[in-house]
Amino acid sequence: MPSNISNEAPSEMNSPTATSAKPDMLISILARMTMEEKIGQMSQYFGHGEPISEHLVQSIRQGRVGSVINEVRLHTVNELQRLAVEESRLGIPLLIGRDVIHGFNTIFPIPLGQAASWCAETVKQCAHISALEAATAGVNWTFAPMIDISRDPRWGRIAESLGEDPYLCSVLGVAMLQGFQGDELRKNGSIAACAKHFAGYGAGESGRDYSTTNIPENELRNVYLPPFKAAADAGVATFMSAFSDLNGVPASGNKWLMTEILREEWDYKGFVVSDWESIQQLTTHGFSKDNKNAAYEASNSGIDMEMVSSTYLDHLPELIAEGRIDIQQIDSAVNKILQLKWQLGLFDSPYTDASLLPTPLNSQHLQIAKDAAIKSCVLLKNDKNILPLSTESLHCVAIIGPLADDPYEQLGTWIFDGDSQHSQTCLTAIEQELSGKANINYVKTMETSRSYDQTNFKQAVESAAAADVALLILGEESILSGEAHCRAEIGLPGCQEQLIDRIAATGTPIVLVIMAGRPLTIETVLPKVAAVLFAWHPGTMGGPAISDLLFGKAFPSGKLPVTFPRKIGQVPIYYAQKHSGKPATEAAFVHMDDIPVHSPQTSLGMAATHLDTHFSPLFPFGFGLAYTQFSYRNLELSHTTLHIGETLTVRVLLTNTGDTDGEEIAQLYIRDLVGSVTRPVKELKDFKRIKLAAGTSKWVTFELSTDKLAFYDRNMQLKTETGQFHLWLGGCSQSGMQGEFEITDD
Ligand code: GLC
């Protein structure tokens, strides 16, 4: 530890967003820093692995590196820290960044799958274990949670999101960052989180990644910003700017976002890192004429650290010398970066001793991964209660499909440090389950989910014909979702639907398990199968989780965090749509096949519908079946009229009317019937997971304060308005007991 840095850790402050007194040590360091050293702290370097490049060694010694991304070999990370602490002039330790998105070595369900659990505790646990495991590699900063509202399943990064709804995304995004950061950043195993991608990245045109976003401010404030505001209020250590162009101003050069909203309006105290070379890309956008101007726009907008590109190192000195960038701005950025390093305890202990942390992939971590996968799976269909399968009545099971035994594909996207050798697949888990109970005929059929090779169809058909049930495990390989992996059609890839047709023709009932990184258009598949279990990409323990669900050792409880369209042409389709002046109704809907010949132009429904597809989704937001049934009765509201500032208490009697135990996610939705701007036909305002034994009942109570009904009005003021409200309480966005109340100011 260099002599000029005191050893006493000043008073503990955890979250950068708390008004933490800047410790004297940081003040003295900042005062000593040269301009080059300050700009060095604002620069994140891409670690190119071993041996450490001479350029990186020298850069660290010269104080030109504040952070390294993508180095996760512990001995190398400790050497990088040693170089910084013992061989640079001021000995400032490094932030070591890594995308720890849904696991490090133990891989949990993809975030969209975790969102289907509607369980903040589960999401928090997964993030906590991810942090513990990442910390064993010296990682102290993850680029998660990704809390972009995602309403376009063509977009590959919907897999990485927490779905379409601002409230669910806010609750689960906060849980995730709390899991990463723990209750104290400086504790062993806590790592800094990063709210990304600020903002509006999920609204890219045509669902193509990186594409233009045009989002009116009112929509931005009411839909896309709330999860980021929740993360800022919850103390997320950092933000990341998006790649995308927001209304003509790319996020990575957008002062309205990074300074006016984030700092001035929200009073956020943490720092903002750019996305990978997103500052340099300001020239590609045609927003800056060269890298020097890009550095100016980004720094001036409030981007504190540059990820991987070097426009700050190359051009900030001259911009400061020219007086175009104020030194106060640089000091402010550097101070926030030093503040986080201090809060992480890096000045006191920059080196990692993995023996002080749990061993990755230990049995507890794997059990939690299995439990998370169980909670994430969504039962979409279960005709004649074919599930759970009973081993008493099964003699032969056909297991068919390219994803039944693929330890890599079940992990999903963004799994840099996951190792498929630890995966437990469906085939291995079901073989264990059925050992000594029933025979298994396994036919992979196609090499990949994208394959059109029907060579092994005959074998698969014979296997199914000889079986009591055909378990088809199909879907998307993980490479078909994630960053830059977008699809214009979102059906089952390759010849998987043809395989279903051939298996269905045998008459053997089909249980379809789908692994995918997005909703899929499976409308034509549904009539051919008896049951559908949507498993997303379930992670390391996906096999045992799915097997337990299929054979009744666990029960499905997941609910969709995103709407499933019937056809891609319906996109964007999401539950919280506006009513429009001519809303779609059953009466108005006319299918094109039913249009009389020579119908006059004004003869059809005159409503917001398509001619070739019903206006409803295939499966709505919040939908998910169970092995039992739940009833909602006796809805009670504490008020029919209430004033601003009061709280409405809502309760309902939930009963498990079936003969098996289950867990229901009760969802509370409202509709503000009239607003100073148009309001969604429904908005999720609360939810609760309730475990109920068969035949038992429980009152489920929600407290709905009037400030939860606030929205940004046409003057961009956050206000709750008086008027009539409808309310629903049920197990899905399209069902539930309905009530109403009024907010009055008389
Ligand atoms: C990527 C992603 C971002 C990620 C970063 C570092 O391009 O957009 O989410 O954290 O680069 O890998």
Residue 419: CATH number of its domain = 3.40.50.1700
> Ligand 1 pocket, 198 CB below 6 A?
no
> Ligand 1 pocket, 167 CB below 6 A?
no
* Residue that finishes a domain, picked among 550, 574, 600: 550
pLDDT of residue 208: 98
Residues 436, 531 within the same domain: yes
* Residue that finishes a domain, picked among 550, 581, 603: 550
The atom number, within ligand 1, closest to the CA of 194 reads 10
What does the alpha-carbon distance between residue 325 and residue 258 come to, in Å, rounded to a whole number?
Answer: 16
> In this structure, which residue's CA is closest to atom 11 in ligand 1?
276
Alpha carbon 278 to chain centroid, angstroms: 21
> In this structure, which residue's CA is closest to atom 6 in ligand 1?
276
CA angle 425, 426, 431 (to 5 degrees): 105
> Ligand 1 pocket, 99 CB below 6 A?
yes
What does the alpha-carbon distance between residue 710 and residue 252 come to, in Å, rounded to a whole number?
Answer: 29
Residues 322, 431 within the same domain: no
Q: Report how far ligand 1's centroid is from the alpha carbon of 253 (Å).
A: 17
Q: Is 113 helix (H, G, I), strand (E, B) or coil?
A: helix
In a domain, 354, yes or no: no
The atom number, within ligand 1, closest to the CA of 143 reads 10
Strands ordered across the beta sheet of 271-273: 194-198, 238-241, 271-273
User: CA quadruple 240, 242, 246, 248: dihedral positive or negative?
Assistant: positive
What does the alpha-carbon distance between residue 179 and residue 130 come to, in Å, rounded to a whole number?
Answer: 8
Residues 544, 642 within the same domain: no
> In this structure, which residue's CA is closest to atom 1 in ligand 1?
276
pLDDT of residue 49: 76
Question: In what helix (H) or strand (E) does residue 410 lie, and over which residues does it extend?
Answer: none
In the numeric block, the tokens 């390391």 are attached to 540
Residues 337, 383 within the same domain: no
Residues 412, 536 within the same domain: yes
Q: Report how far ligand 1's centroid is from the alpha carbon of 654 (Å).
A: 43
What does the alpha-carbon distance between residue 497 and residue 480 come to, in Å, rounded to a whole number?
Answer: 17
What does the alpha-carbon distance between residue 38 and residue 64 come to, in Å, rounded to a whole number?
Answer: 8
Domain count across the chain = 3
What does the alpha-carbon distance between residue 144 and residue 476 come to, in Å, rounded to a whole number?
Answer: 23
Residues 460, 318 within the same domain: no
> Ligand 1 pocket, 347 CB below 6 A?
no
Residue span of the structural domain in which 684 resides: 630-744
In a domain, 684, yes or no: yes
Q: Report how far ligand 1's centroid is from the alpha carbon of 482 (Å).
A: 11
Q: Report how far ligand 1's centroid is from the alpha carbon of 156 (Å).
A: 13
Taking CA atoms, 704 is separated from 168, 639, 652, in Å, by 16, 11, 14
The atom number, within ligand 1, closest to the CA of 276 reads 11
Q: Of the residues 99, 150, 160, which should be mutated to test ligand 1's pocket, given the most ligand atoms within 8 Å of the CB?
A: 99
> In this structure, which residue's CA is closest to atom 8 in ligand 1?
275
112 and 160 in contact (C-beta within 8 Å)?
A: yes
Backbone angles phi, psi at 196, to 5 degrees: -140, 160
Residues 468, 382 within the same domain: yes
In a domain, 593, yes or no: no
Could you tell me which of 620, 584, 642 has the C-alpha nearest to residue 730? 620
Q: Report how far ligand 1's centroid is from the alpha carbon of 46 (Å).
A: 12
Could you tell me which of 693, 708, 619 has the C-alpha nearest to residue 656? 693
What does the alpha-carbon distance between residue 730 and residue 30 come to, in Å, rounded to a whole number?
Answer: 55
- pTM to 2 decimals? 0.96
Q: Report how far ligand 1's centroid is from the alpha carbon of 205 (Å).
A: 20
Q: Report how far ligand 1's centroid is from the alpha carbon of 337 (Å).
A: 19
Q: Of the residues 71, 275, 280, which should be mutated to test ligand 1's pocket, given the most ligand atoms within 8 Å of the CB?
A: 275
Cα radius of gyration (the chain): 27
In three state form, how does the secondary structure of 264-279 look? HHCCCCCEEECCCCCC
Q: Report how far ligand 1's centroid is from the alpha carbon of 298 (Å).
A: 17
Q: Of the residues 45, 194, 276, which should be mutated to test ligand 1's pocket, given the most ligand atoms within 8 Å of the CB?
A: 276
What does the alpha-carbon distance between residue 203 and residue 214 come to, in Å, rounded to a whole number?
Answer: 8
> Ligand 1 pocket, 196 CB below 6 A?
yes
Residues 517, 648 within the same domain: no
The atom number, within ligand 1, closest to the CA of 144 reads 10
Query: Helical H runs in 19-119?
Result: 24-32, 35-41, 54-61, 74-87, 111-115
244 and 201 in contact (C-beta within 8 Å)?
A: yes
342 and 26 in contact (C-beta within 8 Å)?
A: yes
Residues 541, 653 within the same domain: no
What does the alpha-carbon distance between residue 81 and residue 88 come to, in Å, rounded to a whole number?
Answer: 10
What does the alpha-carbon distance between residue 665 and residue 689 come to, in Å, rounded to a whole number?
Answer: 4
In a domain, 360, yes or no: no
The atom number, within ligand 1, closest to the CA of 70 reads 12
> In this structure, which residue's CA is closest to atom 12 in ligand 1?
99
In a domain, 16, yes or no: no
Read off the amino acid at residue 245.
D
Active site (catalytic) residues: 275
pLDDT of residue 18: 42
> Ligand 1 pocket, 483 CB below 6 A?
yes
Q: Report how far ligand 1's centroid is from the alpha carbon of 377 (Å).
A: 27
In a domain, 737, yes or no: yes
pLDDT of residue 17: 42
Query: Helical H runs in 67-183?
Result: 74-87, 111-115, 120-135, 166-181
Q: Of the residues 72, 483, 485, 486, which should be mutated to test ligand 1's pocket, given the most ligand atoms within 8 Å of the CB?
A: 483
Residues 413, 472 within the same domain: yes
What does the alpha-carbon distance between residue 365 and residue 371 come to, in Å, rounded to a whole number?
Answer: 10
In a domain, 389, yes or no: yes
Residues 532, 649 within the same domain: no
> Ligand 1 pocket, 143 CB below 6 A?
yes
Q: Report how far ligand 1's centroid is from the alpha carbon of 612 (Å).
A: 39
Q: Report how far ligand 1's centroid is from the alpha carbon of 422 (Å).
A: 25
> In this structure, which residue's CA is closest to atom 3 in ligand 1?
275
Residues 335, 401 within the same domain: no
pLDDT of residue 204: 98
Per-10-residue mean pLDDT for the chain, 746 residues long?
37 42 83 97 91 95 98 97 98 98 98 98 98 98 98 98 98 98 97 98 98 98 98 98 98 98 98 98 98 98 98 98 96 98 97 98 98 98 97 94 98 96 98 97 98 98 98 98 98 98 98 98 98 98 98 98 98 98 95 92 87 97 98 98 97 97 98 98 98 98 98 97 98 97 92
* Residue that finishes a domain, picked among 521, 550, 579: 550
> Ligand 1 pocket, 276 CB below 6 A?
yes
334 and 314 in contact (C-beta within 8 Å)?
A: no
**Length of the chain in terms of residues written:** 746
> In this structure, which residue's CA is closest to atom 7 in ligand 1?
276
Q: Report how far ligand 1's centroid is from the alpha carbon of 275 (Å).
A: 6
Q: Report how far ligand 1's centroid is from the alpha carbon of 276 (Å).
A: 6
In a domain, 499, yes or no: yes
> In this structure, which residue's CA is closest to atom 10 in ligand 1?
143
What does the alpha-carbon distance between residue 201 and residue 205 come to, in Å, rounded to a whole number?
Answer: 10
In three state form, how does the secondary structure of 502-535 look? HHHCCCCCEEEEEECCCCCCCCCCHHHCCEEEEC
Could you tell me which of 617, 607, 642, 618 has the C-alpha nearest to residue 720? 642
> Ligand 1 pocket, 98 CB below 6 A?
no
The atom number, within ligand 1, closest to the CA of 196 reads 9
What does the alpha-carbon distance between residue 605 and residue 608 come to, in Å, rounded to a whole number?
Answer: 9
